[in-house]
A = this chain, B = another copy of it.
Amino acid sequence: MDKQTITIYDVAREANVSMATVSRVVNGNQNVKPATRKKVLEVIDRLDYRPNAVARGLASKKTTTVGVVIPDVSNTFFSSLARGIDDVATMYKYNIILANSDGNDQKEINVLNTLLAKQVDGIIFMGHHITEEIRGEFSRSKTPVVLSGSIDPDHQVGSVNIDYKEATSDSVSLLAENGHKKIAFISGSLLDPINGKMRLEGYKKALKSAGIKYSEGLIFESEYNYKAGETLATRILNSGATAAFISDDELAVGILNGLTDAGVNVPDDFEIITSNNSLLTEIARPRLSSITQPLYDIGAVSMRLLTKMMNKEEVEEKTIILPYTISKKDSTK
């Protein structure tokens, strides 16, 4: 890997000091006489010396690298989180090893293991659900872990999220207040803690306080993509629903376009509220009303939390809930 052959030893020799001293100036240790420091820096510059981070990692047991497990970088939801993560990582001098898992349990395990083998100082994990096996790996590794935009059922590791239950409840209530009695709940797998537990609970809560009875027929599980939405549109109409809460923007736009193509007018005949307030909600016509999740911030805060954990600082609360808002646009009245 290394092509440069200039080591700390070369610098030491050229500067007539010991490698310890060179190491000190490289690491900003104050116990170095200014004159010596200057001399060393001059040699470092002249020789174009670049400390070998691998050797450093081996000796110090710190790699200043954190592993990021992500279902899919090309999904804007996750890449927004990733951007927040990388920005604060950079701020704290860490680098990111990014690994796609496809949300696949086995891959998650594999990836986690290679990350740990690479001695990352910490891990940020994104995924729709945390399997028992993954949780087991987390606990026996001692490497700090933070879940970003994912729920940890028993708060063993750090996590940063919004309050999905409340956000969903608020959204559904908004629909209920507009007079809808048949409100569809359209989401990913109900087996996921966020979709199945938090969101569905929020949905039910809103129905309850609006005095609407829950009906299985209005619950739709779908993949999170545009095509799935287009296809789903007619099924939703057939269910008799006149409004829908949707947990993914791409899916929501698919449904919106599917509905529109079927001659349904949104919001006059059907109201929609989606969940991520991504650019898609702005592009769609009508523009989609949506929960606004601070995705970038969730990523940024996750990384900040992780830096504290890696630094062994005391963290008062490692389950962080960030605020959300509801952005009313043109798909609701």
Contacts and interface: CB of A to CB of B under 8 A. Distances in A.
A185 interface: no
A1 B62 contact: yes
Nearest to A72: B83
A124 to B, nearest CB: 12
B74 A95 contact: no
Interface residues of A, number: 58
A209 interface: no
A74 B80 contact: yes
A63 interface: yes
B86 A100 contact: yes
Contacts of A55: 58
A332 interface: no
Contacts of A97: 65, 95-98
Interface in A88-130: 90, 95-100, 113-121
Interface string A171-193: 00000000000000000000000
Given A79-B79, A279-B226, A86 B73 contact: yes
Contacts of A63: 1, 54
Given A87-B100, A100-B83, A119-B52, A279 B257 contact: no
A283 interface: yes
B282 A285 contact: no
Given A63-B1, A120-B1, A95 B114 contact: yes
Contacts of A115: 95
A261 to B, nearest CB: 9
Nearest to A67: B95
A74 B83 contact: yes
Interface string A1-42: 111100000000000000000000000000000000000000
A58 to B, nearest CB: 5
Contact of A53 (B86, B117, B283): B117
Contacts of A308: none
Given A51-B117, A96-B97, A74 B65 contact: no
Interface of A: 1-4, 50-55, 57-58, 61-63, 65, 68, 72-74, 76, 79-80, 82-83, 86-87, 90, 95-100, 113-121, 141-143, 226, 250, 253, 257, 260, 279-280, 282-285, 296
| Top 3 A-B pairs, shortest CB-CB distance | A3-B142, A74-B83, A98-B98
19 contacts: A1-B119, A3-B143, A4-B141, A51-B117, A52-B119, A54-B54, A58-B58, A65-B118, A73-B73, A73-B79, A82-B98, A83-B100, A90-B99, A95-B97, A95-B99, A95-B118, A226-B282, A283-B284, A285-B285
